[in-house]
Chains A and B, each alone.
Chain A
Amino acid sequence: MKEIYAVIRINKMQATKKALEAAGFPAMTAYTYRVMGRGKQMGLRPDELSFPETSKEKIKEILAKEGKHAMRYVPKRLLYLVVEDADVNKVVDTIIKTNQSGHHGDGRIFVCPVQETIQIRTGERITETKPN
């Protein structure tokens, strides 16, 4: 089993939930309301709209200007779901397809291993991947 973390735009949450449901993955967990995130652009900076490479000099320069016109974090939604190994690609593709606008800030997906899941209601433990 794998755990898939996705950091996405706030306004894409409903569409992502619908798309995942349509693809057969209705179960997921999300953080209430929002999390704050930033990528290599270090938040939203109108005077530094986009810089492709984050060098240490550039970061220093930006930090020195800190507080002038900077939004240090951008609100995002963080959701995660645990799926079978064989379904990882399908879920990742669904999330990418729904969330891709082509602009910076579309978010990121991380895939992490999970050793064991336990259903609380039944006490059933799943340690191995079921053959698909």
Chain B
Amino acid sequence: MKMIRAIVRPEKAEEVVGALAEAGFVALTKIDVVGRGKQKGIEVEGIRYDELPKTMLLLVAREENVDEIVDIIMENARTGRFGDGRIFISPVEESYTIRTGQRDYRRLI
């Protein structure tokens, strides 16, 4: 399993979530964050804003679905300008459903 953390523009988040749902990936967590990239934020009329509001989508998926999910996020979050965000993929070793108390070996959508 992999954890996919995508930092996207807040106004693009619902588009990405909708597209993911259509492809069958409905479960996710959405977090409001602030961040900056290598442009060190933006400067508007002499004032520098270096904490820009972004939305982080956090989802855990099976390895074979990671490429598809990344493609969907890229397609729907991209405007082509700076600030479109980033996607990070990291390993997850175990996953548990609290309701059942069972470890999920297979079923993760």
Interface residues, chain B, with chain A CB atoms under 8 Å away: 1, 3, 17-18, 21-22, 24, 26-31, 58, 60, 90-99, 101, 109
Contacts and interface: CB of A to CB of B under 8 A. Distances in A.
Interface string A20-46: 000000000001000111111010000
Contact of B98 (A42, A95, A112): A95
A121 interface: no
The A interface, classified by DSSP as helix, strand, loop or mixed, is: mixed
A40 B92 contact: no
A117 to B, nearest CB: 15
Interface of A: 2, 5-8, 31, 35-40, 42, 54, 56, 59-60, 63, 72-73, 76, 78, 88, 92, 95-96, 99-113
Contact of A63 (B3, B21, B29, B95): B21
Given A37-B28, A78-B29, A110 B94 contact: yes
A113 B97 CA distance: 19
Given A63-B18, A100-B98, A111-B92, 20 more contacts: A5-B3, A7-B29, A36-B31, A38-B26, A38-B27, A38-B29, A40-B27, A42-B21, A54-B26, A60-B22, A78-B29, A92-B94, A96-B96, A101-B99, A105-B99, A109-B96, A110-B3, A112-B3, A112-B91, A112-B92
Contacts of A100: 98-99, 101
A38 B28 contact: yes
A66 to B, nearest CB: 8
Contacts of B95: 108-111
Contacts of B24: 54, 56, 59
A106 B26 contact: no
Contacts of A102: 99
A112 B3 CA distance: 9
Contact of B97 (A8, A88, A106): A106
